[in-house]
Structure 1
Amino acid sequence: MSDAGPKNGDNSDTTDVPFSFMPSPDDMQHWTSVIGRAQQMMLEYAQTQAEGTNGAAALFDPAKWLDNPASQLWAEQTSKMWEQGVAFWTSLATLNPAMAPAAPAEAPKDRRFADPDWTQNPAFALIRQTYGLLSDQLLATTRQLPGLDDAARAKLEFAAKNMADALAPTNLALTNPEVLKRAVETRGESLLKGLKHMLADLARGQLSHVDPDAFEVGVNIATTPGKVIHETELYQLIHYAPTTPDVLAVPLVIFPPWINRFYILDLNPAKSFVAWAVEQGLSVFMVSWKSADASMKDIVWDDYIAAQVDAIDTVRDVLDVPAVHAIGYCVAGTTLAATLAMLSAKGAAERVKSATFFTAQVDFEHAGELKMFVDDGYLALLEQLSAPGYLDGRYMAATFNSLRGRDLIWNYVVSNYLLGNDYPPFDLLYWNGDTTNLPAKWHRQYLVDLYRDNRLVVPNSLSACGTPIDLGKIKTPAFIQAGREDHIAPLASVWRLMDHLAGPKTFLLAGSGHIAGVVNPPAAGKYQYWTGDSNAASLDDFVAGASETKGSWWPHWIEWIRAQDSAEIPAKGARIPGKGAKKAIEDAPGRYVKQR
């Protein structure tokens, strides 16, 4: 690799411009081999696709987002800005690089531009500044367009932000100095490896964040010992083995979101909420939802509510107890609220001793960016994509990734495809890519009735299993946890649970977001949480008077659980998985979580 570069100026005042982006003549033969192997890879991929592809279609049609009176003006101005930008970048070929300005020292930190060449090499410094200028202008133009309502403006801003992220010079090999240097250092092997990653992802129809073969459910992930003791066509019920001589008399039933695999709460022994809860003396039961297939095309809202009631009653019968503690995470927390309202209407509220809501919403007025995915255009597209009776989970994964496109899409495009890096062995990212299919009818119902029309908070507007429901009738003690940086269930939205439930409520604000804010084991010593006046009139009032505690909020929660009922019994008989009225069907984590 040569460090020599062009010199500018006269003999008395010369400036060396680093130019380490060209392969040496000695490496050209190897580069020829790399090109040949790349061509062979692409040929083999094309042949495979010709025989039948399983790649996912585009998630959405961006044109649907711009379906408003201002779209033509916005598109025209955007086009002009990027045309000017391309022309400006092209002009670099005739510029004296030494005359280009360096990036200003006060520029905000951006991990995409961490490589020193973005500031030290004049050409790349100019590219960076030009990109920053154009992306800022694009966002400013979007915000200033007249005649838009709040929903239309939010869609345009979201589209503009994603466009700006997609067009970053870091996403292209020829305008990313780190990629160019890596290619030269590896004699092209990094690009070849990146191409292999890209073709593999195209074949599976999904961007990979980790090596798909790095983890195996039940082997090195989701390993807490237990047994599946009950199953229906919609879910399996796992009973985990106790690790303490005595257990709390009231057991715990966990309802994870059916849009993800349950083992986010059981990643590994060090991170597992399940294993930790067992260690605290809880008899823990977990619902493992089945990934939808064509046989589930008629599954609706009532079916998930009925499944929650069935799980609660199964645990009560197996352990011969009057009530359970229940946890509902995300969308399962939304449904848990409906379940509690139905039980209350039927005079059966005593079956649930307490309800804990992990980042759950019932009032969707402030539900954040996900509300952009409930207009008529998007719903029509979902209907097309769900023709088999279910929505392929890869579409939902792409939706969530797009909410943080810079971190969850383009960061990995650069790392995996352009730099050819090895995949990190990260269990959380493996879980994030382990998608779950959704029943089409229920998914549409959820988006329309809850996200779009916000009917759950209107008394008796919705029914559960034939019973009109009113959240204001729920008097079950509730523990409500929210994430300060949650972009899936925003803090302001989760707080609304405090306004709609009638029983005693405890609110806790956790540091971080939708996942790390929940999965934060005490041993990690990370983040913090805030507690305060749960009778505060507003979220602002709660935050103003809240006290911060470093570390995990889990110990605070278990104290609250014990305050509901501290009675203990020996961990024997039916408290051992498979030893009660329900015999073991198979070992945890069961079949359903492994089905694709």
Structure 2
Amino acid sequence: MTELPPGKPIAEDKTTRAAPDPGTGGHPYEKLDRAMRAAMARATAGVSPHSIMATWMDWALHLSRSPGRQFELVEHAAKNTAKLSEYASKLAAGSKPTPPFETRTQDHRFSDKGWQKAPFSLWQQAFLSTQDWWQAATDSMPGIAPRDAERAQFQVRQALDLVSPSNFPWSNPEIIRRTMQTGGRNLIEGSAHFLEDFTHAVTQKHDLPPKGYELGTDLAATPGKVVYRNALFELIQYAPTTNSVQAEPILFVPAWIMKYYVLDLSTENSMVSYLVDQGFTVFMISWINPTADQADLSLEDYRLNGVMAAIDAISKFVPGQKIHINGYCLGGTLLAIAAAVMQRDGDDRLASITLMAAQVDFAEAGELLLFIDDSQVAFVEDLMWLQGCLDRPQMARTFTTIRAEDLIYARAVRRYFLGEADLPTDLTVWNNDTTRMPARMHSEYLRGLFLENRLSAGRFAVEGRVVALKDIRVPMFVVGTESDHIAPWRSVYKIRLFTDGDLTFVLTNGGHNGGILSEPGHKNRHYRQDHRAADALYISPDEWFENAKVRQGSWWPAMADWLKLHSTGEAKPPLMGGERRSANKLPDAPGSYVHQT
């Protein structure tokens, strides 16, 4: 094992830097303004009041000039009231009428059988009736910005979720039944859970993993060594389990928004372990968890001193071999940029590219777009200017808000009123092991990629020259997941619009994380797969979906077969880090950076 020199110094690419300086420089008046805005951002948990007010002003002004739409909504309210009145009268008469309003498929708040009985069923239907009316009221109308209509619907949903009858002990039949069964013990235990969560929220103490979920023992436990380290990441090489391996190694580029070991969870669902057992030499980037001291790290730093430094190191450890490279989530976006730059500059060290739930175009980036506009990004930038980074709870809050009914309110009911403790799983332990975002890098990502969509628009420059995804000519294996809220599969599919090379697209059931963790033997798994030859004509995602054959089981074997198809054959496993021993020893996997809190 060797620790290579850190290579090129941290570089600044001024062509992609659109955000204000996260440091303390600038005119005193500017610093005063930023301090005031940062204080407001901290008070509002990073949510811009201007964005909220602008959304409702847009909606209200357009509704005010649409009398037809107003009459339509009055009529809708009258119909809902009539349905609800008829339902109530039948309940009062002792019959069991069919509820006029249904819950959404993903809404499990009213699944308890107690909601089928009066008066709880009437309260539930009254809530769903209100929800139905507001859904209609905030539908798009001529003139209103589509994004504002979606934001209005989202904000109404958040407000209604707060006052759902399922959230209160006196109107939730399951809570009432549990309280009677336990003599109130559930409320006592729930109070203890609330105090525990409140203390954790105030102190922001990082909890150790529960027993049975320790890093290096239960999770991230695939044997290996850290074979390279610089100030930005550790490179892990995993020990072979076969007598021979595919000649080309695999490099994983995970997102810096998460700890890498989502790809190396428990033994049974570790993608790393699976590929090692299939006869591949696997390397993994483990990013640092940055602090305010790394506020000025940029996207270019992550490309140059991250992805490229890892490729340089592997090229020394496995000389003369090309590299299969795999990017997950934001790691895939960064990988696409790096691959386009490599192709542009004549660097042919890549054998193939795999992108998992990764976007290169952000025009249809799902519900995260509801949080992104100029005002909101400026608010986050001011908050990061004050802190030097986007902290863990601020990052996690965004993702939980998208599914508030399940991740916030349903959990609160279960934990505080039913007295049920959270049962850990490998995925929830990983999900709670959150990271921070460097101020400059996160600002560049939000502005340059998410807000301004520069990469697919041909306006993202690296080293003074625009990056073109069409330059990528190595074979690509792209994976989307059907119910992904972070990287919707139709957005992931857009890679077919911006590349012309050989491309295999896979769509698997599940969400952003669960769909990727689809190991062989996982129940109720299926996927679709189709191949596009180089320079083939484009087909729409809906047409692709209709024509792609559904295949039962895990998509991992299909990925392994595809990688072998694009490899040159088997070879003797390379030495760990290129040599057997080194005076400068580095730690075993999972390394030290993954333990940073």
Q: TM-score, normalised by structure 1?
A: 0.82
- What SS class does the counterpart of residue 539 from structure 2 fall into? coil
> What is the total number of aligned residue pairs between the two structures?
525
- What SS class does the counterpart of residue 112 from structure 1 fall into? coil
State yes or no: 1:322 paired with 2:321: yes
State yes or no: 1:354 paired with 2:356: no
Q: In 2, Cα distance between the equivalents of 1:56 and 1:193?
A: 31
CA contact (8 A) 2:357 2:492 kept: yes
* Closer/same/farther in 2, CA of residues 478 and 135 from structure 1, 3 Å limit: same
Alignment correspondent of 1:136: 132
Q: Unpaired runs of 5+ in structure 2? A: 1-41, 65-69, 79-88
Alignment correspondent of 1:476: 474
- What SS class does the counterpart of residue 268 from structure 2 fall into? coil
- What SS class does the counterpart of residue 485 from structure 2 fall into? coil
Letter of the aligned partner of 1:569 in structure 2?
Answer: A
Alignment correspondent of 1:7: none
Among 91, 94, 98, the alignment partner of 1:104 is 98
CA contact (8 A) 1:358 1:480 kept: yes
Letter of the aligned partner of 1:156 in structure 2?
Answer: A
Q: In 1, Cα distance between the equivalents of 2:63 and 2:589?
A: 53
CA contact (8 A) 1:363 1:493 kept: yes
Alignment of 1:380-459 (within 5 A): 380-386=378-384, 387-459=386-458
CA contact (8 A) 2:59 2:138 kept: no
Q: In 2, Cα distance between the equivalents of 1:72 and 1:458?
A: 33
Q: In 1, Cα distance between the equivalents of 2:173 and 2:91?
A: 15
Among 546, 551, 554, the alignment partner of 1:552 is 554
- What SS class does the counterpart of residue 372 from structure 1 fall into? helix
Alignment correspondent of 2:588: 587
Q: In 2, Cα distance between the equivalents of 1:302 and 1:147?
A: 39
User: Shift of residue 400 of structure 1?
Assistant: 1.1
State yes or no: 1:115 paired with 2:117: no
Q: In 2, Cα distance between the equivalents of 1:138 and 1:555?
A: 46
State yes or no: 1:287 paired with 2:288: no
- What SS class does the counterpart of residue 170 from structure 1 fall into? helix
User: Shift of residue 62 of structure 1?
Assistant: 5.8
Alignment of 1:464-543 (within 5 A): 464-534=462-532, 535=536, 536-543=538-545
Letter of the aligned partner of 2:45 in structure 1?
Answer: A
- Give CA deviations for 1:11-43 in whole Å, capped at 9, x if unaligned: xxxxxxxxxxxxxxxxxxxxxxxxxxxxxxxxx
* Closer/same/farther in 2, CA of residues 96 and 548 from structure 1, 3 Å limit: closer
CA contact (8 A) 2:247 2:321 kept: no
* Closer/same/farther in 2, CA of residues 560 and 56 from structure 1, 3 Å limit: farther
Letter of the aligned partner of 1:271 in structure 2?
Answer: N
CA contact (8 A) 1:308 1:336 kept: yes
* Closer/same/farther in 2, CA of residues 522 and 101 from structure 1, 3 Å limit: same
CA contact (8 A) 2:50 2:375 kept: no
CA contact (8 A) 1:342 1:468 kept: no
* Closer/same/farther in 2, CA of residues 525 and 170 from structure 1, 3 Å limit: closer
CA contact (8 A) 1:525 1:552 kept: no
Letter of the aligned partner of 2:436 in structure 1?
Answer: N
* Closer/same/farther in 2, CA of residues 102 and 58 from structure 1, 3 Å limit: farther
Letter of the aligned partner of 2:545 in structure 1?
Answer: V
Alignment of 1:244-393 (within 5 A): 244-306=242-304, 307-348=306-347, 350-386=348-384, 387-393=386-392
CA contact (8 A) 1:264 1:428 kept: yes
Q: In 2, Cα distance between the equivalents of 1:379 and 1:98?
A: 52
Among 191, 194, 207, the alignment partner of 2:190 is 194
- What SS class does the counterpart of residue 139 from structure 2 fall into? helix
User: Shift of residue 115 of structure 1?
Assistant: 2.3
CA contact (8 A) 1:194 1:419 kept: yes
Alignment of 1:557-572 (within 5 A): 557-571=559-573
Which is worse superposed, 506-515 or 552-561? 506-515
Alignment correspondent of 1:161: 157
User: Shift of residue 466 of structure 1?
Assistant: 4.3
Alignment correspondent of 1:31: none
Among 141, 148, 156, the alignment partner of 2:144 is 148
State yes or no: 1:67 paired with 2:61: no
Letter of the aligned partner of 1:150 in structure 2?
Answer: P
- What SS class does the counterpart of residue 443 from structure 1 fall into? helix
- Give CA deviations for 1:337-357 in whole Å, capped at 9, x if unaligned: 110111112111x11111100
Q: In 2, Cα distance between the equivalents of 1:167 and 1:303?
A: 45
Which is worse superposed, 151-160 or 575-584? 575-584
- Give CA deviations for 1:315-351 in whole Å, capped at 9, x if unaligned: 1101223321100001110110110111112111x11
CA contact (8 A) 2:236 2:286 kept: yes
Alignment correspondent of 2:45: 58
- What SS class does the counterpart of residue 276 from structure 2 fall into? helix
* Closer/same/farther in 2, CA of residues 507 and 97 from structure 1, 3 Å limit: closer
- What SS class does the counterpart of residue 175 from structure 1 fall into? coil
* Closer/same/farther in 2, CA of residues 99 and 593 from structure 1, 3 Å limit: farther
Which is worse superposed, 62-71 or 584-593? 62-71
User: Shift of residue 431 of structure 1?
Assistant: 1.3
Q: In 2, Cα distance between the equivalents of 1:106 and 1:570?
A: 67
User: Looking at both structures, which has the greater relative contact order when contacts are Cα pairs under 8 Å and sequence separation is at least 6?
Assistant: 2
Letter of the aligned partner of 1:447 in structure 2?
Answer: L
Q: In 1, Cα distance between the equivalents of 2:140 and 2:478?
A: 38
- What SS class does the counterpart of residue 586 from structure 1 fall into? coil
Q: In 2, Cα distance between the equivalents of 1:119 and 1:192?
A: 27
Letter of the aligned partner of 1:299 in structure 2?
Answer: L
- What SS class does the counterpart of residue 370 from structure 1 fall into? helix
- What SS class does the counterpart of residue 291 from structure 1 fall into? coil
User: Shift of residue 590 of structure 1?
Assistant: 1.4
CA contact (8 A) 1:393 1:435 kept: yes
Q: In 2, Cα distance between the equivalents of 1:284 and 1:198?
A: 43
Letter of the aligned partner of 1:413 in structure 2?
Answer: A
Letter of the aligned partner of 1:587 in structure 2?
Answer: D
Q: In 2, Cα distance between the equivalents of 1:575 and 1:559?
A: 25
* Closer/same/farther in 2, CA of residues 197 and 477 from structure 1, 3 Å limit: same
User: Shift of residue 141 of structure 1?
Assistant: 1.3
Which is worse superposed, 498-507 or 248-257? 498-507
Alignment correspondent of 2:218: 220
Q: In 2, Cα distance between the equivalents of 1:457 and 1:511?
A: 26
Letter of the aligned partner of 1:538 in structure 2?
Answer: S
Q: In 1, Cα distance between the equivalents of 2:90 and 2:53?
A: 41
CA contact (8 A) 2:140 2:149 kept: no
CA contact (8 A) 1:483 1:490 kept: yes
Which is worse superposed, 450-459 or 373-382? 373-382
The share of aligned pairs that are identical, in percent, is: 34
- Give CA deviations for 1:225-256 in whole Å, capped at 9, x if unaligned: 11111111111111111111111111000001
Q: In 1, Cα distance between the equivalents of 2:43 and 2:421?
A: 24
Q: In 2, Cα distance between the equivalents of 1:426 and 1:274?
A: 19
User: Shift of residue 296 of structure 1?
Assistant: 0.9
User: Shift of residue 73 of structure 1?
Assistant: 7.0
Among 173, 179, 197, the alignment partner of 1:183 is 179
Letter of the aligned partner of 1:495 in structure 2?
Answer: Y
